[in-house]
Structure 1
């Protein structure tokens, strides 16, 4: 009797380890969306803003051509919802480049040549906008 109790306990311990490993390997909806590469080759992420649990807005830069790019990526693609990605020279009264519409997974990319200039950039998902103008100088 004692031997079978030890085996049962060992099996339960093994199952708990396997279940725990499987649970940590499954992504959750709360994980931030990764940059999806839609700006193209040569672009490097230089800043980002999390949009609570909705997604992330990324600012990228290509040093070989002086272009900035902004893209807003949802954590979990699904039914189309209102999203935006905007980019302009710092202090402009309107967005120079803006992509706003109903999208399943991302808004943008929007591009602006602004080598050695300051820019304002922003992204949003529904009412969750990245907190006003985000500025970057480079």
Structure 2
């Protein structure tokens, strides 16, 4: 799936708004104590994470065998479905993937091939979002932004 950086930003903002598309999404059926590895699948190891306020965590996982990155947002306290998202984007290849909807436990997984590239990724739970840019680029410093609406 191809995304331009501005399209991805617009999609992230749209997902944070309550809309008809979001209201129609089916809730995820995860166990309350799931992990990024369980959601992403066999071979994925968590390589980075970012707190979504006190509501949960967005995880970046990587599979060294196939070069895929995976992002999943997991709530600390699963319950009634709320707006959630998980997204990832590789600026160098203009490739990205996202999952937005109303979920009870987690959003994602979102996958992109990213071997050898910096990645931008993030997610949201209810009215709190986090975005990490320039991530996993060896010695380069990433930038994190958390926003409450």
Regarding TM over 0.5, the answer is yes
Distance 2:45 2:68 in 1: 11
1:86 aligns with 2:87: yes
Please, what TM-score do these two structures have when normalized by structure 2? 0.63
Pair 48,134 (structure 1): closer, same or farther in 2 beyond 3 Å: farther
- How far the C-alpha of 1:51 sits from its partner, in A, is 1.2
Distance 1:134 1:101 in 2: 25
Unaligned ranges ≥5, structure 2 = 1-32, 139-149
Partner of 1:123: 123
Summarize the alignment of residues 1-138 of structure 1 with structure 2, pairs less than 5 Å apart: 35-36=35-36, 37-90=38-91, 96-131=96-131, 133=133, 135-137=135-137
- The structure 1 segments of at least 4 consecutive aligned residues displaced by more than 4 Å after TM superposition are none
Unaligned ranges ≥5, structure 1 = 1-32
Please, what TM-score do these two structures have when normalized by structure 1? 0.68
Q: Which has the higher contact order (CA 8 A, sep 6+)?
A: 2
SS in 1 for 2:35: coil
Which of structures 1 and 2 has the bigger CA Rg? 1
Indicate if the aligned counterparts of 2:120 and 2:132 stay in contact, CA closer than 8 A: no
